[in-house]
Structure 1
Amino acid sequence: MLINDRICLVKPLRELTENPFSYMEVFEVDDAGTQWNPGRKQRVMKVLKWNTPKLVDLIERESLTLRLIEHPCIPKSTIDDFFTFIPNNSSLTLHCLIMEKFEGENLEQWLESNGRISQSVALQWLRQLVEILDEVHRTEIFHRDIKPSNIILQPSGQLALVDFGVARRVTDTYLAKVSGSGGSSTGRGGRYEITSVSTPRYSPLEQVNGQAVPQSDFYALGRTFVQLVTGIQLMDLPIDKKTGNLIWREQTPQIDKPFADFLDELMAPLPGQRPQTTRVILQKLEKLPQQSKIYRVTKSKTFRVSTAIGFMILTVFVTFKVLLPLRAKYLVSQGEKAEAANNFQTAQEFFDSAIKINPQARYTISKFYFEKGLRSTKSLELAKRYYELAIKYNNTNVESYNNLGIVCKQLQDSQCVIDSYEKAFKLTSDNWEGHYGLGTYYDERMKYDLAEQQYQLAIKINRQAIIAINNLSRVKILQGDYNTAISLAQEGLQKTTNSRWQAVLYKNLGWAKFEQKKYSEAKRYLEKAKELDIQRTSTHCLLAKVQGILGDFDNSWLSWEACLLTESREPEVFIWRAEIIERIRQKAPNLIQD
């Protein structure tokens, strides 16, 4: 088949699918030796299978973007490379976009084969990407989808940035929209509607809310390099519950503090806290090697030994009573270093010696192990060991027992879960977090009566425990007690201003109303939940069901796509996905109408 009198398909660049929700296919094509490709470079072609106005607008915008940017590490495309095509025996118009293909593999693939990168490689790659972004931003465009799979490592060692499908021009009109100027706000971006595009874990909050700015690219760049230097998927890294920031530094012994600080600056929560331009980033990258050198000197063994000797000389005349705690503190620090080097037996010897000198050291050691446990959630067995050691040195810390219960639950160690929480309850009568944790344990095993008891105890102790109120509302839905579920969700909404908690409570309201067959009310609540938190998969699944019943088939189709393709660990979602996949298998392509 010859497309547009010039193009022959060579092979698909990703697995072809019969999924009715897939709207784009990508092929390697033969366009060699023609007037459009005199250099006979390899090329790829995107084919848009849906003709919805927003998707057509995106592929048209991508064509314009690639024509505006002139850089050897960004795909080249001309005005003749964007066209429409109608296959034989079909009335469907396909929009096609051809662009240059870069040889090599994307960094997602490279990471799977090679593991985490060194600091020197990270600095080299980061400088290359920022230089590419410098040209992109100087063209008044920002990418909006930087992630490892959109970065190609070429055989020459040079990186290339691809997939400008959601790129956006920075114009005065756009900035007015995202700032909300020019009228009262009725939605995202003031009185204007801005399309929200985001990739979970890589996109900052302002982009999720449809208010992306050039500094949003820097956030995604920082997150990309955290994945590269840790070798760990972002979803597997723990998150600080207070700040929402990734906890990642423990996984990167090869990274100096100045460089780690710089990556955290790129990922700052607010755009104004990040570097403001690519020029600023490049200037900071020039200074980083010198900062790292100073850091390594101050952390060197010689420097530490010299400092320790000087400290000992200064304190030699201090009384014996003061020296003992200092000696204990030194032994604790040596134990921490031995533990960090995996010399577990040596660490225990140091810690035991410290306690003999100063019994109060046991609380410092317990805190040390407790914090190690917090940072080891990816390696559950290691986290369990740390919490058990924290309890060994201080068996009155309720939080250690609570966290041990959480880890044991993930390890499927039922006896450890129950023992941990029972010991925590004996220490204090107001441990609502423990009752909530034990409730989730029963909840996940579908022992809803036992889960309900624990959630009620948590709420009785702390009437502001929104997380327990939400889970009890969900359990009531699963038990068929929809009125109680609705009352609990409404109670939770009166007690919180947190948008993410409001979103999940509105989702529960919509779910309960759906089960009561009050579909219009269900739709209103679910749309509110989606507005507050667009990334919650269960909301999309329920909204798809409601929209289908109400006859809104186009939007139901899009909601099912989000339900199937977004990340989720909610058990209900897996059930709903299985149901829709089975229906697709039996009735496609007339699924929604049926």
Structure 2
Amino acid sequence: MNSGWCINPDCAHPNEPGEADGCQWCGTDLLLAGRYRAIHPLQNERHPLASTTLFEAIDQSTGNQPKVLKVLCEPSRAKIARLEQEYNVLMLLDAPSKIPSADLDGFFSVPTPSLPVHCLVMEKIAGQPLNQWLEAGNRLSQENALIWLRQLIEIIAIVHDRFYFHRDIKPDNLILQPNGQLALIDFGACRRISETYLVKLRMGETPHYVSPNSSYSITAVGSAGYSPSEQLHGRGVPQSDFFAIARTLVHLLTGRHPAQLPLDESGQLLWRKHAPQIARPLADFLDELQSASWRKRPSDTEIILQRLNRLPQRIRRYQLFMSTQFRAGAALAGILTAASFIWGVNSWAAYQQLFQARQLAERGAQNQLGGKLELARQNYQRALGLDPNLPEVHQNLALLCQGEGNVPCAIEHYQQTLKLTPDNWQVHYNLGNLYDEQGDYSHAERHYGLAMHADNRLAIDAANNLSRINIIKGDYSEAALLAAQALKQTNDLVSQAALLKNLGWATLKQFDYGDALRYLQRAKKLDPQRADIYCLLAQAQEAQGFEVEAKQSWKNCLRYDSTAGLPEVKAWRERILNRVL
């Protein structure tokens, strides 16, 4: 039986070491540090900062637990120190399943016939590297982009909080685990940021090249396309990691390496046309993270996470505005031109009035999309003064009123839209959502039910919301039936998580705790940052006597903000806070 792989870089037959604990060709130990055994190399290329080889290994002292073994084949003092620093960083960060943890005795040297070989043993994180995910033809959806962006920021927050920054974030160094959680690997380029260095940054100074003995000297390192200019010139800052995260997201969204995309005159990457699935608010945020100047990027991870909490609402509002803008544009112009003759509007003055109304409607849509809401309202009102039968204008005004919290105004204009276009499923869904927010479930049910006639994702979202309302009303069987039927009709992971959550909630209310746990665990894997899933999971775990697991789920119920605005989530949070206090 073959004993694995010889780690001696000068061995003539490393893949045929023989059956003993020493290589039959060069005599190098095969049982490393008395417990580890290299199985096979994980890559052939050399590490950019040091001549290293990665092996898959096993730890025989823990029942052959899989490990990753990094072997330094070039024993210069600087590179040995760098490998030891990587070991110290991994020990300090201590974030298993997000960052590989190093074994307690995982840094050691192994004698060879020529020179000692230094080794680092770390946790093996199961999953697929994102460069392989890209090579398989995958592209990131907007929903998953928001999830992955938050995960990356939360991981890098751990690193920055320990006064380090990674300096080499890219798809190759990210692992997609089976549970949907990303992990960040390869901390060989990671560097500590001294207090002196941070003080200079807070004072607005850009650190310059200085003596290697300086407390804020940073070596130039990085990967082309992912690393900002300040890092490639040896002036890296914590915000350099934000740049690399944004560039990584761009690659995952477009399928194109950032180095292959053009830049505009200001140095901004031109990538948006290759990611049509992305709404402008998210694209703007990614461009801010990858600003050419580090001063224009957010200052820390806390600010980024706060803005990520608000981003889904901004995207949703933008998409609603965008969907009506097209109907208020060129298509409306053609319709009105034809209508002026079909409806008997044969006077030139009447035609001009209709055409002017269309222009005002289009101008208002542009104002609304650009955030000039008062100007949009004025143009819409002028358009309706010329022609009160413009459904797109009523719909846009309803969205404007809804965004401002003016419920009567929103309802009035939605109803006017439906008088003109009774089969407008988007408006039925919006009205259902508006009544739902007000707790008027009977009206919400009616409009959600009509929105289910749509032939796109809108129908799935309506079924999900209708299922939720049935649970609130106590009709658990109907709720479960709706969720189960919708689940068969969608491949969208976020929608599937919401529907599984409803199935878990309905079965929990029917005291079927085993099925509730199964549904909720599946939902958690698909959307691991949805607050209501954890709130329900905690209740199911408590009912089954899993107190330790329930405690962690309650923490996540309080921690995540994705569904914090729902009345049931507020009630669950209040319940656990009252219990604690």
TM-score (norm 2): 0.49
TM-score (norm 1): 0.48
